[in-house]
């Protein structure tokens, strides 16, 4: 997927003026957050589960080498193969090699953001292997030559009309606006592909170290057909997906479904453990797991380690006012929203993704809904610091911060200026007590007015309250 993150501002502006996208985003804003809140309300122990999820993920991250090696040993014991990939190139090559050995012409694919991260589809296509997306949203996007805008609902930026148009155009069928008919149409098209595919590629929500199993959760069942019907099943997963035991996995399943879609449980939860055994009724002859690092091990022990707890539920973006206004494509790469604002700079570089950690109101909603309590705003701040240190932030911001830094080191001057500013704002506010326009802050006052400061500066008010507390 092409990197367009440096154009975040332009893309966000376009998105804000796109009525079709705004309609689709309205559906998102009124859908997932309410469903999550209802599911959480039905589960009194949810907050405790979040703590357990956070602690368990921290434990795994601190012993990642141990659990990954255990996972590899178990996969091999079950007759599967593990391929370690340091970066996207190694992962792509490993998957292409498997496809070539299987003499594959077509591969079916379950939804996998990791495959987007390594740009797998284009690579396979360039090398003569035709990938077919089988998740309904991904299938629609593939027909449109489009990309996901959300990590669990990839086509959330589209409306019914968009789907009707592309189905009619690509399938050569009569246009219909009936969702059930469209679904049936996709089902009929995909059934043939499931049967014809030589290789099935899926992602993994979790890799279980004690059994060497991988789990995928879907609401369509397409993942099951992708991994059971072809002769070869390839799982592509990043190293942070490992969990110690099946019981640990169930903890995250409970958190994931509620945080993502507000379901008690995702409809299909499918475990794969090695290739088909002699007494199995179905399953692939070969089972491969490609374990991708792609910069994640560099996050260990640093400011961004906690991001490795992410279970890709999407709650942070579903509740983010910025994502809700501009949608996922504005972010310009695979991972949008608050989790993308932290992860993307690590994967493609802060020089290309510098806008993303700045695309936040810091309202803290993302952290408050994250099932594994990832402190996303804190890590966005770390990225802003990196940006500043490397002189990547805009000149105006650097000058402003330099001036701020100077005044805070000269408290008397700072207080004097703050009082003068407070007085000036009162004058500007006039009798109505509202400021309508401020120099250097037009982006703010264009949409909202600011109340005139009451009771002097913050320091004045603080001192006053201290005095009152002492007197009482």
CA 219 – CA 345 distance, rounded (Å): 31
**Contact assessment for residue 359 and residue 309, using Cβ atoms and an 8 Å cutoff:** no
CA 21 – CA 14 distance, rounded (Å): 10
What's the Cα-to-Cα distance from 361 to each of 143, 296, 357, 380, 452, rounded to whole Å? 35, 27, 10, 11, 22
Minimum CB–partner distance for residue 255 and ligand SF4 (Å)? 8
Minimum CB–partner distance for residue 134 and ligand SF4 (Å)? 23
Which residue bears the tokens 């408050």? 368
Measured from the CB atom, the residue of 132 and 204 that comes closer to ligand SF4 is 204
Name the 3-class secondary structure at 357.
helix
Interacting residue ranges for ligand SF4, rule: CB under 6 A: 259, 310-316, 339, 370-372, 374, 376
**Contact assessment for residue 452 and residue 422, using Cβ atoms and an 8 Å cutoff:** no
**Contact assessment for residue 52 and residue 251, using Cβ atoms and an 8 Å cutoff:** yes
Measured from the CB atom, the residue of 75 and 307 that comes closer to ligand SF4 is 307
Name the 3-class secondary structure at 96.
helix
> Which residue, among 208, 212, 225, has the nearest Cα to 109 in the 3D structure?
225
191 Cβ contact partners less than 8 Å away, ≥ 6 residues apart: none
What's the Cα-to-Cα distance from 316 to each of 33, 257, 294, 319, 320, rounded to whole Å? 10, 14, 23, 6, 6
Q: What is the torsion angle, in degrees rounded to the nearest 10, for the CA atoms of residue 359, residue 361, residue 365 and residue 370? A: 30
Strand order of the β-sheet with 213-218 is: 242-243, 206-208, 213-218, 268-272
Minimum CB–partner distance for residue 240 and ligand SF4 (Å)? 11
Minimum CB–partner distance for residue 370 and ligand SF4 (Å)? 3
Minimum CB–partner distance for residue 310 and ligand SF4 (Å)? 3
Measured from the CB atom, the residue of 32 and 287 that comes closer to ligand SF4 is 32
CA 449 – CA 434 distance, rounded (Å): 6
Measured from the CB atom, the residue of 107 and 339 that comes closer to ligand SF4 is 339
Minimum CB–partner distance for residue 167 and ligand SF4 (Å)? 30
Measured from the CB atom, the residue of 129 and 376 that comes closer to ligand SF4 is 376
Minimum CB–partner distance for residue 335 and ligand SF4 (Å)? 9
CA 88 – CA 348 distance, rounded (Å): 12
Measured from the CB atom, the residue of 123 and 252 that comes closer to ligand SF4 is 252
CA 274 – CA 276 distance, rounded (Å): 7
DSSP string, 290-355: EEE-TTSGGGTTSTTGGGGG-----HHHHT-HHHHHH-SGGG-SS--HHHHHHHHHHHH-HHHHTT
Minimum CB–partner distance for residue 184 and ligand SF4 (Å)? 32
Measured from the CB atom, the residue of 61 and 310 that comes closer to ligand SF4 is 310
Minimum CB–partner distance for residue 440 and ligand SF4 (Å)? 33
Measured from the CB atom, the residue of 225 and 334 that comes closer to ligand SF4 is 334
Minimum CB–partner distance for residue 304 and ligand SF4 (Å)? 12
Measured from the CB atom, the residue of 230 and 338 that comes closer to ligand SF4 is 338
- Three-state secondary structure along 101-166? HCCCCEEEECCCHHHHHCCHHHHHHHCCCEEEECCHHHHHHHHHCCCCCCCCCCCCCCCHHHHHHH
Measured from the CB atom, the residue of 291 and 311 that comes closer to ligand SF4 is 311
């Amino acid at each position: 997927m092409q990197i367009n993150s440096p154009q975040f501002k332009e893309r966000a502006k376009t998105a804000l003026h796109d009525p079709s996208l705004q309609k689709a985003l309205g559906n998102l804003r009124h859908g997932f957050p309410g469903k999550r809140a209802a599911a959480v309300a039905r589960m009194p122990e949810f907050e405790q589960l979040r703590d357990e999820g956070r602690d368990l993920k921290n434990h795994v991250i601190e012993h990642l080498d141990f659990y990954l090696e255990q996972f590899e040993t178990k996969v091999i014991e079950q007759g599967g193969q593990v391929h370690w990939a340091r970066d996207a190139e190694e992962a792509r090559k490993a998957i292409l090699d498997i496809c070539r050995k299987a003499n594959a012409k077509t591969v079916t694919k379950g939804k996998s953001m990791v495959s987007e991260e390594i740009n797998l589809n284009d690579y396979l296509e360039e090398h003569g292997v035709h990938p077919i997306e089988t998740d309904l949203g991904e299938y629609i996007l593939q027909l449109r030559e489009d990309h996901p805008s959300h990590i669990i609902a990839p086509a959330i930026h589209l409306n019914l009309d968009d789907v009707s148009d592309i189905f009619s155009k690509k399938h050569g069928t009569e246009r219909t606006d009936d969702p059930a008919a469209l679904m049936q149409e996709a089902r009929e098209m995909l059934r043939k592909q499931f049967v014809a595919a030589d290789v099935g590629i899926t992602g993994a929500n979790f890799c279980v170290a004690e059994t060497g199993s991988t789990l995928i959760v879907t609401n369509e069942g397409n993942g099951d057909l992708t991994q059971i019907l072809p002769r070869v099943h390839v799982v592509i997963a990043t190293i942070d997906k490992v969990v110690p035991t099946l019981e640990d996995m169930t903890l995250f399943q409970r958190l994931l479904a509620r945080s993502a879609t507000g379901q008690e449980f995702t409809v299909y939860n499918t475990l794969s453990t090695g290739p088909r055994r002699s007494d199995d009724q179905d399953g692939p002859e070969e089972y491969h797991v490609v374990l991708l690092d792609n910069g994640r091990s560099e996050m260990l022990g640093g400011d961004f380690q906690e991001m490795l707890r992410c279970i890709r539920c999407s709650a942070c973006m579903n509740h983010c006012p910025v994502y809700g206004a501009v949608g996922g494509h504005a972010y310009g790469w695979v991972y949008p929203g608050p989790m993308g604002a932290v992860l993307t700079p690590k994967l493609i570089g802060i020089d290309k993704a510098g806008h993303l950690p700045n695309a936040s109101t810091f309202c803290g909603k993302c952290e408050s809904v994250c099932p594994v309590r990832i402190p996303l705003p804190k890590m966005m701040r770390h990225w802003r610091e990196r940006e500043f240190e490397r002189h990547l932030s805009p000149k105006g911001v650097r000058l402003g911060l330099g001036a701020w830094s100077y005044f805070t080191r000269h408290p008397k001057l700072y207080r004097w200026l703050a009082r003068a500013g407070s007085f000036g704002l009162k004058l500007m506010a006039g009798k109505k007590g509202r400021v309508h326009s401020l120099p250097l802050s037009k982006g703010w006052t264009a949409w909202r007015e600011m109340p005139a400061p009451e009771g002097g500066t913050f320091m004045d008010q603080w001192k006053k309250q201290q005095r009152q507390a002492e007197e009482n």
